[in-house]
Amino acid sequence: MSFHGVALTDIAATRLSDGAPTVSLAELGEPAGLEPGRPVRLIDRHAETLATGIADPENGVVRILARSELRALDGAFFRRRVEGALALRRATRVADDTEAWRLVNGEGDGLPGFTVDVYGAFVVCSVPGRGLLPWGRLLAEAALGSDTLGLRGAVIKVRGKDPQDRSAKEEIHGECPPDKLVVHELGLAFEVHLVGALNVGLFTDMREQRRGLARFVAGRRVLNTFAYTGALSVAAARAGATHVTSVDLSSGVLAWARANFHLNGLPDDDGRYRFEVSDVRRFMEKERERGATWDTIIMDPPTVSAARASQWSMKKDYPDLIALAAKLLPPDGGILWASANTRKGPSVLAQVADGLQRAGKSGAVLETGGLPPDYPTPPAWDESRYLEVCQVWLK
């Protein structure tokens, strides 16, 4: 497909100079002829190309692939991007103690909107729209072509604009992964499902948080809310928590969590580990009514949930839930472990501060954290650093 030249407006030129990984079509004056996936050259008033990208009208943007003129967007280009990304991961030795890690992280690796995650001998390539699928195929082929990774197959997943859309297109290149694949991370085993769903069951961006969990849970009774497939619960149990209760609205993901406990030699029939299918708020309210307390409460909620039994929005519902959690910690002190996606709402510390004010509690921040080193981000673009985690001592 040939390049399409687009003149930069002043607004778009300013956004580009600020380091933005995308420029909106509205900022470009809604240029004609930009079908999905079309290679684009962004041209200044002196007819010089300042950037090269691809059109993504489904999401209303041009995705910037280089801040210069590229002669071609082809397999060789994607191979160079993958080789550069792999060199960074080798430098930080990310894969030394895990089989699950991120090989390409969007704009941090010069491919905004695209990601590649490694799970053992397979990769999952995520593409931001159907029109960009041909470029996702080139990216998958570049990853599979790496001699050092030894990959056997790739799953390409197309993300729809609606995060709740489960009808996104999926393709298999090379060998199809098994329905249930076991990968190892930091000495722990986790079951992942690479085919058939947008989320595979293990969020690699939380690896460093799982690594550091021991100092907040060892010897303590732990409540893990929004437990999903139980990765944090497994990490807490293996780190020496005396009791772990995992709460999630979905019985399916809690069955998956039980499977992860079994994979790690953790029994679920001796009273130390419980799995509660429940709306998190209702469960916590019942715990409050019966006078229960927990030494550490983990809160890693989704940004939104459209489940009929429990609609949830982090932006409007999180502070009240934090306030409720604060009342379930012991009067002499307990730990709140909380995360937030800052692309969808305030920072985690702002959410915690709001919640504590509502609960009439005081606290002290013990630690803050974010993305691991296999999730590099551009220094000039804060929006890329979406994950925030904090641990707070409350009395």
Q: What is the pLDDT of residues 220-277, one digit of tens each?
A: 999 999 999 999 999 999 999 999 999 999 999 999 999 999 999 998 777 899 999 9
Q: What is the pLDDT of residue 164?
A: 54
Average pLDDT estimate for 331-344: 92
Distance CA 259, CA 243 (A): 18
Q: Which comes out higher in pLDDT, residue 127 or 32?
A: 127
Among 223, 76, 61, 47, smallest CA distance to 138 is for 76
Q: What is the pLDDT of residue 162?
A: 60
- The shares of helix, strand and coil residues in the chain, as percent rounded to the nearest 5, are 30, 30, 40
Q: Across-strand partners of 53?
A: 40, 64
* pLDDT confidence band for 305 (50 / 70 / 90): low
Radius of gyration of the chain (CA): 22
Instruction: Find out whether 329 and 394 touch, Cβ atoms under 8 Å.
Output: yes
Q: What is the pLDDT of residues 108-162, one digit of tens each?
A: 999 999 999 999 999 999 999 999 999 999 999 999 999 999 999 999 999 876 6
* CB contact set of 214 (below 8 Å; sequence gap of 6+): 239, 240
Distance CA 267, CA 375 (A): 34
Q: What is the pLDDT of residue 343?
A: 83
Q: What is the dihedral of CA 153, 77, 66, 173, to 10 degrees?
A: -20
pTM of the model: 0.94
Among 169, 154, 150, smallest CA distance to 58 is for 169
Q: What is the pLDDT of residue 228?
A: 97
Q: What is the pLDDT of residue 166?
A: 54
Residue 167 scores a pLDDT above 60: no
- Reduced to 3 states, what is the DSSP secondary structure of residue 320? helix
Q: How many CB atoms lie within 10 A of CB 171?
A: 15
Residue 18 scores a pLDDT above 70: yes
Residue 165 scores a pLDDT above 60: no
Instruction: Tell me 252's DSSP state.
Output: H
Q: What is the pLDDT of residues 85-96, one digit of tens each?
A: 999 999 999 999
Q: What is the pLDDT of residues 290-301, one digit of tens each?
A: 999 999 999 999
- Reduced to 3 states, what is the DSSP secondary structure of residue 94? helix
Structure tokens at 30: 């809604």
* pLDDT confidence band for 313 (50 / 70 / 90): confident
Q: What is the pLDDT of residue 161?
A: 66
Q: What is the pLDDT of residues 99-117, one digit of tens each?
A: 999 999 999 999 999 999 9
Placement of tokens 């996606």 in the chain = 341
Contacts made by residues 163-166, CB under 8 angstroms, sequence distance 24+: 163/303, 163/304, 164/304, 164/306, 166/197, 166/198
Among 336, 201, 220, smallest CA distance to 272 is for 220
Q: What is the pLDDT of residue 240?
A: 97
Q: What is the pLDDT of residue 310?
A: 60
Instruction: Find out whether 262 and 284 touch, Cβ atoms under 8 Å.
Output: no
Sheet with 334-341, side-by-side order of all strands: 273-277, 243-248, 221-225, 296-299, 334-341, 387-394, 363-369
* CB contact set of 262 (below 8 Å; sequence gap of 6+): 268
User: Exposure pattern of 107-146 as b/e (b: 16+ CB <10 Å)?
Assistant: bbbbbbbbbbbbbbbbbbbbbbbebbeebbbbbbbbbbee
The percentage of residues in the chain with a pLDDT greater than 70, rounded to a whole number, is 96
Residue 59 scores a pLDDT above 60: yes
Q: What is the pLDDT of residue 197?
A: 84
Residue 3 scores a pLDDT above 90: yes
Q: What does the mean pLDDT of the chain come to?
A: 94
Count of alpha carbons within 13 Å of 209, Cβ hemisphere only?
25
- Distance from first CA to last CA of the chain, Å, rounded? 62
Instruction: Tell me 130's DSSP state.
Output: G
Residue 346 scores a pLDDT above 90: no
Strands, E, within 264-360: which ranges? Answer: 273-277, 296-299, 304-305, 312-313, 334-341
Among 268, 265, 275, 217, smallest CA distance to 245 is for 275
Structure tokens at 328: 């379930």
